[in-house]
Structure 1
Amino acid sequence: MEPEVAGVLSQFKSIKKHASLLRQFIIRRGLADDEGLKSLVEEFKDAKAHFERIRYERKIGIISLRSIKMPRDMWVGEQKALLSEIDIECDKAIGVLGNIATALSKDELDKLSSLVEELEKLSEVLPDINYERNLSEAIDEYEKGDYLASALISRRVIIYALNQIPGQSDEEKVKFLREKGIIAKDRKDVHESIIKASRRARNFFSHDIKVFPTPSEALSLLGDAIGILEKASKVLRREEKS
């Protein structure tokens, strides 16, 4: 995320949060807060100026923010209405800046599109809709730029799916898949990818709070989740038939 975009995005989120707190304060007390609202309006004006510059530089012509002015001697109802207006304008800015901040490359979009297609096909044979729900959520989080959330959701799908495959260790699970003809015996690359994905999911993102996944790592884990789930689904379907 570009520093300027990140900074302005954070500024609007802060304004939105304080607008909500100020509105609650005014409602509880039943009294207007001229100084608090004046300060918030000035902060919004500053953020709006930064937003307009970014909008001009990026040639974003669809969304623009309304100017917020604070008349003198506002009563409680008018201040509440003005705070609601600030909240709405902040949401507009947050949406635009969020899209800029999380713009995906063509390669990422192509990979995501491919994974979505795989998931759509797989969803037709999955025994539990929660698999699809989790992976759809992981894809959504990735698209929003929350790579940690996406990776953690993918991680739990991988672990849960692997737990449906007989075997105490990852190697035993791979052996079972080979013996049942679910994966080819000569596909050593597939065997290794399952083991690596399992170990990465179980260890890398869950135990070290200093580690955050890169976009590439989160996307790779998402692909691993769909790939392993495809194999686990075959095991589950066999069990249903037996």
Structure 2
Amino acid sequence: MNTSNFTRAEMNALKEEWFALLKRAEDCLKVIDDIDSRALMGLTFSSLYERRLEEETEGLWEDYEDLCNRTQDYLGKKVGEKVLPKVIPIPPSANEGEVRTFLQRVAGESRKTLRLIDDLLYTTELSSRDRERLYSLEKEVRDNIKPFLPEYASDLEKALDAFSNQNLTCSVLLAGRVIEVIWSKIKSKVKEEKGMKEAVERKEPEWEDLRPYIRDMVGRESEKVIQAIKLYRNKFSHRVGSYPTPEESLIMLSGAVLLAKGYKDGINPSKP
């Protein structure tokens, strides 16, 4: 991702603010746990704990909202909206349970944002090795996919371009869209060949049913494709806020390109 308008020092300063906020939320949760422990032991609730909780939480919501808004302003044009921290409402007269839930969510958003900032700080330029892999994938799309499957090539070109600009989330989602479409076609083919009755009973084909089709499409690279499919389906397709690493993005891109390249020749099970 291009962070040229946001210096490394500013990113580190933002990270420190999120770390401090996380520490405050965790300290407040410890106070609530102490209160609950005393109650379970039959001890009288101490006003000391009440005052401490009030002191720890004072201004926390306002500080969290301010930090969320500033982070959204700073990073909103660099990453997808789904991975940015969300402002969390808290009732004006929240009870202990509502305060606990709020603090847990603040802690979760803080950890997520810290991971995001770490990833942004990880690198601002592609390594020479990654550039070589990127060039190889671009050539595959241009020479072997675009002439036959222009609609898939369009998404893949956008995904590769997003990766080169280090917009990893966008890159993964575009590559995932290609994977999802072709993957659905493979499953439909398997269901069709195994008969509707069995397909209805089992709903989804097993991996052992699908591997021969993938192997026929991509040959020895089949495990790379399966790795990309599993990564997308188990992580990025339904876990909102998941932020890919550069390596995960390349796995997704490689898998999508291999799958599209194989798909142009049709879906058929490999012969034993």
TM-score (normalizing by structure 2) = 0.45
**Alignment partner of 2:245 out of 214, 217, 227:** 214
Q: What percentage of aligned pairs have identical amino acids?
A: 26
Could you say what secondary structure the match of 2:264 adopts? helix
Q: 2:171, 2:142 → 1: CA distance? A: 18
Uncovered stretches (5+) of structure 1, i.e. residues with no partner: 9-100
Residue 103 of structure 1 corresponds to which residue in structure 2? 125
Post-superposition Cα deviations, 1:132-164, rounded to whole Å, max 9, x if no partner, equal 110010011111111011011111111112223
Q: 1:233 to 1:170 in 2, by over 3 A?
A: farther
Post-superposition Cα deviations, 1:169-211, rounded to whole Å, max 9, x if no partner, equal 4432322355xx5455xx4xx3433322211111211222242
Aligned length: 141
Residue 131 of structure 1 corresponds to which residue in structure 2? 152
Q: 1:175, 1:143 → 2: CA distance? A: 33
Post-superposition Cα deviations, 1:15-59, rounded to whole Å, max 9, x if no partner, equal xxxxxxxxxxxxxxxxxxxxxxxxxxxxxxxxxxxxxxxxxxxxx
Q: 1:183 to 1:112 in 2, by over 3 A?
A: closer
Q: 1:169 to 1:133 in 2, by over 3 A?
A: farther
Q: 1:209 to 1:177 in 2, by over 3 A?
A: closer
Q: 1:220, 1:149 → 2: CA distance? A: 14
Tell me which amino acid in the other structure corresponds to 1:225.
A
Q: What does residue range 22-41 of structure 1 map to in structure 2 within 5 Å?
A: none
Q: What does residue range 10-21 of structure 1 map to in structure 2 within 5 Å?
A: none
Tell me which amino acid in the other structure corresponds to 2:262.
K
Question: 1:113: how far off?
Answer: 0.5
Is the 8 Å Cα contact of residues 171 and 195 (structure 1) preserved in structure 2? Answer: no
Q: 1:102, 1:108 → 2: CA distance? A: 13
**Alignment partner of 1:176 out of 213, 225, 249:** 213
Q: 1:6, 1:234 → 2: CA distance? A: 51
| 4+ aligned runs moved over 3 Å, structure 1 | 5-8, 168-171, 181-184
Residue 177 of structure 2 corresponds to which residue in structure 1? 156
Residue 225 of structure 1 corresponds to which residue in structure 2? 256
